[in-house]
Amino acid sequence: MFTGIIEELGRVRSLEKRGEGARLVIEARRVTEGTEEGDSIAVNGVCLTAIDVRGDSFSADGSRETLQRSTLGQLRAGSAVNLERAVTPSTRLGGHIVQGHVDARGRFLSATEHGGSWTVRIAYPREMARYLVFKGSVAVEGISLTVAGLTDEYFEIAVIPKTWNVTNLSQLKTGAEVNLEADIIAKYVERILTVGDAAKPASASNLTVEKLAELGYTE
């Protein structure tokens, strides 16, 4: 699990195709500190397992599913990538709960500067619409961001100078694909509301407002 607060802007040293998957070697220094082989690191919002961890780099394998679902397969040597280590029990949850499981790809449309800050516009596919709400959370390239504007085709995010400087947002070109992950809470709520009564435990299906009042719960 991650928080969407990027720790380091790394660089792709190499991406080697291996069958339908690929092995990435990422240049990094901060996220390799205290990281052991088998630990999780989010790369542009994709949870990967670190292997061959060194002081200035680590490697990770991407499966066919990962390459098809995310933009990792489009990376090239020199590409800038957002990096974050998995949270620990003592980590501050500065963003929101990010799993590193990409839901869809969006498209970078534009970035407009406003005296040091930026408004970034991202187009999203239809299947993401039900998870996006004004002032809600969304992960873009692994960055925890707040939806500041929302239409049926795109959403906008307000980016502060710190985020602009330490992530790859400033390097994206118009039309570039980006990894999107919806807030996990939204997905659980959707599941709870859409599963039929037949799937509910008997005790849950028999729960009524009157029963709650009888048990002592009041408004």
Range of the domain at 69: 8-85
Q: Are residues 25 and 71 in the same domain?
A: yes
Which ranges of 98-176 does DSSP label H, i.e. alpha helix? 161-166
Tallying the residues shown for the chain, one arrives at 219
Whole-angstrom distance, CA of residue 94 vs CA of residue 4:
8
Q: At residue 55, what is the residue type?
A: G
State yes or no: pLDDT of 59 exceeds 70.
yes
Q: What percent of the chain has pLDDT over 90?
A: 81
CB atoms within 10 A of CB 12: 18
Number of domains within the chain: 2
CB 82 within 8 A of CB 169: no
Q: Are residues 67 and 143 in the same domain?
A: no
Residue 43 is encoded by which pair of tokens?
Answer: 């790369």
pLDDT, tens only, 169-216: 999 999 999 999 999 999 998 888 888 655 565 555 566 667 667 766
Query: Shortest CA distance to 68 belongs to which of 26, 23, 18, 103?
Result: 103
Q: What is the CATH number of the domain that holds 21?
A: 2.40.30.20
pLDDT of residue 194: 85
pLDDT of residue 64: 94
Whole-angstrom distance, CA of residue 56 vs CA of residue 21:
24
Cite the beta strand spans of the chain per DSSP E.
Answer: 8-18, 21-27, 40-43, 46-51, 57-62, 80-85, 104-114, 117-123, 137-140, 143-150, 154-159, 177-182
pLDDT of residue 219: 54
Read off the pTM: 0.86
